[in-house]
Amino acid sequence: MNLSWMFGPTMEQRHLLYVYVLVWVVQGGYAAWVGWQWWRSRREDRPE
């Protein structure tokens, strides 16, 4: 899969790249935050 055409200096190429990266960062960031809260709450619930 050759995606080298995405990594260029034009505004079209940059903005297309930004969109795909931004979606992964926002969705991944939120998922990571929820996952971390879940992991933390499990650890707190565990009996000592």
Partner 1 sequence: MGRSRIFGPLAATWFLLTLAAIGFATRMGLVLAPPDALQGNVGRIFYYHVPHSMLSLVWPYVNLAASIGFLYWRRRDPLKALTADALAIASAEVTLVYATICLTTGMLWGRVQWGIWWTWDARLTSMLLLWLLYVSYMMLRKFSSTGQTQTLAAVLSIFAAIDVPIVYKSIDWWRTQHPSPVFFSNDPDAGVDKSMMPAFVANIVAWAMWGLLLLAIRYALERRRQAREQDAALKAIEDSMEFTR
Dihedral pair phi/psi, residue 18, rounded to 5°: -60, -40
List the one residue from 4, 7, 9, 23 that touches partner 1 (CB under 8 A).
Answer: 23
The interface with partner 1 within residues 2-21 (CB under 8 A) comprises 3, 5-6, 11-13, 15-16, 18-20
Instruction: List residues near partner 1 by CB under 8 A.
Output: 1, 3, 5-6, 11-13, 15-16, 18-20, 22-23, 26-27, 30-31, 34-35, 37-38, 41, 44-45
